[in-house]
Chains A and B, each alone.
Chain A
């Protein structure tokens, strides 16, 4: 199981690299630099010469190669889980990740063959985040901390925390979808100034692009407020629960960096590296929020670590806040 966990960490790293590569494809406008799929200029993709990976092909074909590698890694992951993982729901999650990565590949092909239709490209971007969150979750589920650590992180005893922890990934994912819509409809610079919009708090004129862009800015405010509220609640009520405060603080830091990157993206005129970093940090923030939510709601996972945890550790340890209220 330990090796599986390390393997999953590697899959997470590869998946984040894949998201960066996908972000580079869009940021450099290289999505159609390879017009065919799954071949590359009529050549089997793995046989395409490296010397011809020039210009936009470098980004698009590179993205395909990394994606194929992640696909193969996910096949290995699903099979490995099926062979050694005793928890059925974790095994199923492995197969779900494999189905997600296969679907993701098909969406990538369809969006190329149909000249990047926005709904398909947005779905491709959205599913990428779901897949990333899945492999991060699997990494958490196979970690020693999840399997042998204390049960009962307090979701049932602290309903405010329970709701905040669930709302955060939902709001962040909504914000990611708005961002993907903005990205794939060319609305990234629909409002060219920051922090104001055409010199006003609210744009004085409206188009579809301006509405999408402004919605992303409003979403950023909502996400920041939600995340800081969650972190604040944790630090105030459960300061001793490091397994919760650490991801909450990491999430807060990522969201603040993300807001800065968003502003920089606009002010730099969508500079490629900045724009791509904005995509990657968004994915990391979503994953961090999922980890936090899972840890807060861990007690809902009936057999979480039950197969490996000593019987004596099954009893839920009350959290500091709930203990105080009791």
Chain B
């Protein structure tokens, strides 16, 4: 009986050791998108010469940014150039930055993924950019420019979750998303976080078309090359949620849309 117990324990230990050979950080990044991107193989989506432009404004006094205490990692204290939260990036004229503006409804057909690689950099223990968009199948290159280690943990609701370590400065990996995921029912887009440095977070909106943009501090945006038509334009902010507006734009014309967010 004692021998049998011993061998059971030895077997369990062997399983644990075998697990060591399956270290996740040793596994090269694997695309989660089939060859040719994830867009459906139906009619090709149209492009055009119309534009939807406008601005995002924050009304009232924005909450003051908070100072992030980075002293859990001395490297971050040394490297950080910005230690303030970026929930509310408000420009001089009240423009609101880090708002993801996109065509929510009105497009038809499929659009192939852009060949442009989007870079998400970890620098100064922050993600740059903080809010951005990609197309289904478009490559996101995630880079660690910091001389400290980060883990990149994406927690999507629709796409596959991943959590990968980048312990060495200069490490880079590529990821793609195979399904649309952007502010479903007002919930966040795909959140990225670093579990090592709890203050680091970013959001990516995944769309099956190229008509999206993230605002800068002036709050202005332009979505060009649209075919004429009726659209629902959405503006999403990580703290203030999503607003939508209907807009009609003629061929070669520019339609103006403005959104106003208020705190609380």
Contact = CB atoms under 8 A, between A and B. Distances in A.
Interface string B126-163: 00000000000000000000001101010100000101
A258 to B, nearest CB: 27
A33 interface: yes
Interface stretch (A52-60, A215-223, A288-296): A52-60
Nearest to A45: B20
Given A28-B198, A33-B196, A36-B23, A55 B72 contact: yes
Interface of A: 28-39, 41-44, 52, 54-58, 60, 82, 91-92, 95, 98-99, 102-103, 105-106, 109, 113, 115
A4 B164 CA distance: 43
Which of A28, A44, A91, A102 counts the most B-chain CB atoms under 10 A from its CB? A102
Contact of A35 (B75, B148, B163): B163
Contacts of A109: 16, 19
Interface residues of B, number: 34
A102 B12 contact: yes
Contact of B151 (A28, A29, A32, A82): A32
Contacts of A29: 195, 198
B13 interface: yes
A57 B151 CA distance: 10
A30 B24 contact: no
Interface in B69-89: 72-76
Given A36-B25, A54-B149, A113-B24, 10 more contacts: A29-B198, A32-B195, A35-B151, A36-B23, A44-B20, A52-B148, A82-B2, A91-B2, A99-B9, A115-B155
A108 to B, nearest CB: 10
Contact of B5 (A28, A39, A95): A95
Given A33-B151, A54-B72, A103 B12 contact: yes
Nearest to B152: A35
Which of B26, B74, B195 counts the most A-chain CB atoms under 10 A from its CB? B195
Contact of A99 (B12, B73, B167): B12
Which of B13, B163, B198 counts the most A-chain CB atoms under 10 A from its CB? B163
A102 B9 contact: yes
A115 B161 contact: yes
Which of A28, A29, A55, A103 counts the most B-chain CB atoms under 10 A from its CB? A55
A109 B19 CA distance: 9
A42 B25 contact: yes
B9 A42 contact: no
B127 to A, nearest CB: 15
A42 to B, nearest CB: 4
17 contacts: A32-B163, A33-B196, A34-B165, A37-B24, A39-B25, A39-B26, A41-B149, A42-B26, A42-B165, A54-B74, A55-B73, A56-B197, A103-B12, A105-B16, A106-B16, A109-B19, A115-B161
Given A55-B197, A113-B24, A35 B12 contact: no
Contacts of A60: 195
A31 B73 CA distance: 17
A31 B155 CA distance: 14
A55 B74 CA distance: 10
Contacts of A52: 148-149, 167
Given A36-B165, A99-B9, A102-B9, A56 B198 contact: yes
B253 interface: no
B165 A41 contact: yes
A35 B24 contact: yes
Interface string B1-44: 01001001100110110011001111000000000000000000
A9 B173 CA distance: 48
Given A28-B198, A99-B8, A38 B16 contact: yes
Given A54-B73, A102-B16, A41 B195 contact: no
Nearest to A32: B195
Contacts of A38: 16, 19-20, 23
A20 to B, nearest CB: 18
B12 A57 contact: no
Given A35-B151, A35-B165, A52-B149, A102 B13 contact: yes
Contacts of A113: 24
A105 B15 CA distance: 11
